[in-house]
Amino acid sequence: MSRRDNFSTRNGHGPDLNTPITMRNDVPDDLRGFLVDLAYENGIKHDALRSMVCRRLRVAPDTRNNWGPDNVDREIRDLLVACPWFDIYDLIEVVALHLETDNYREYGADFENEINEFFIARGVGWKLEKGKIVFRGDEGLDRILAVAATTENLNGYLTASNELHEAIKDLSRRPTPDVTGAIQHAMASLECVARDLTDSKETLGAWLKRNREAFPPPLADITDKLWGYASNHGRHLKEAEAAKLEEAELILGICATLGSYLANKGKALANLQGNVFPPVGWPS
């Protein structure tokens, strides 16, 4: 039975989306066994799964001594119990890719949904998206990023949207997120929108000095300070001032929100005036 046919799905029940994220550089112990069971449920045979696991872990399958489903299953589970945590996330991607092949295509969406519901329920800060394990923030941050990317795409700010995706990719790096890169890309996304609005090549800091009316007070001052913080922690980095993951998430969320605001505001004024944003003295 497809999970879409079960009781909880039919009645709109699922894991609490507000479950706090408590884990990124590790895996819940039960994810190792859950992955095996879920692969079987989605049509993958024992021998095929062992082949995937052994290839990813770079070990030879024990085909001489292990034969029959029960023995192969035991070998798979022993390998997964012993492997490093990040290999489990890699193996999820391997299984997801396998389920994209013609013989298994009907199972791919169910597999992704089940993995993501497991992650939400256990407070895991990752999600499976289009076959890749990527960074997952809390529900509010994920919603902000999705809205911002959609807004910027619809209004033609594709470069800014791409910078947001690059920031997420930096936070998704395993085993260590690229916090500095994430901050740089987050600020670049906001800078791209600002530059496009006024056909400018200025840095965001210089742009803000000439366009204080871009944001309602005191958001212009806050954005200016944000630029200064990001310059110290994402551009002119000093060893003693390395930003933390939580700070990078905060910068990303703020930049996404401000970029979305500017993209909407720029589109509205362009429609009214038939032109790009005026570089100075625009209406607030």
56 CB contacts (<8 Å, ≥6 apart)?
87, 90, 91, 94
Beta strands 132-135 and 126-129, pairing class:
antiparallel
Over residues 119-161, the pLDDT tens digits come to 999 999 999 998 999 888 877 777 788 888 888 888 888 899 9
d(CA 246, CA 204): 23
34: tokens are: 């859950």
Over residues 267-281, the pLDDT tens digits come to 655 554 444 444 444
Number of H helices, E strands in the chain: 12, 2
Of 175, 171, 187, 186, which Cα lies nearest the Cα of 244? 171
Amino acid at residue number 200: S
d(CA 152, CA 271): 16
d(CA 50, CA 77): 9
283: tokens are: 């209406």
266: tokens are: 């720029």
d(CA 162, CA 151): 12
Q: Would you tell me how many other CB atoms lie within 10 Å of the CB of residue 20?
A: 8
Task: Evaluate whether 8 touches 14 at the Cβ level (below 8 Å).
Answer: yes
Rounding to the nearest 10 degrees, give the CA dihedral for residues 237, 134, 100, 70: 110
Write down the pLDDT at residue 10: 65
Is the C-alpha dihedral spanning 258, 259, 260, 263 positive or negative?
positive
Task: Evaluate whether 261 touches 215 at the Cβ level (below 8 Å).
Answer: yes
**Cis preceding linkage at 279, omega within 30:** no
d(CA 74, CA 54): 13
d(CA 150, CA 146): 6
Q: pTM (2 decimals)?
A: 0.68
d(CA 196, CA 204): 11
Write out the chain's pLDDT in tens, 284 residues: 455 566 666 666 667 667 788 898 899 999 999 999 999 999 999 999 999 999 999 999 998 877 889 999 999 999 999 999 999 999 999 999 999 887 767 777 889 999 999 999 999 999 999 899 988 887 777 778 888 888 888 888 889 999 998 998 898 887 788 888 999 999 999 999 988 888 888 888 888 888 888 888 888 888 888 888 887 775 544 543 667 888 888 899 999 999 999 888 876 555 544 444 444 444 44
Task: Evaluate whether 75 touches 62 at the Cβ level (below 8 Å).
Answer: yes
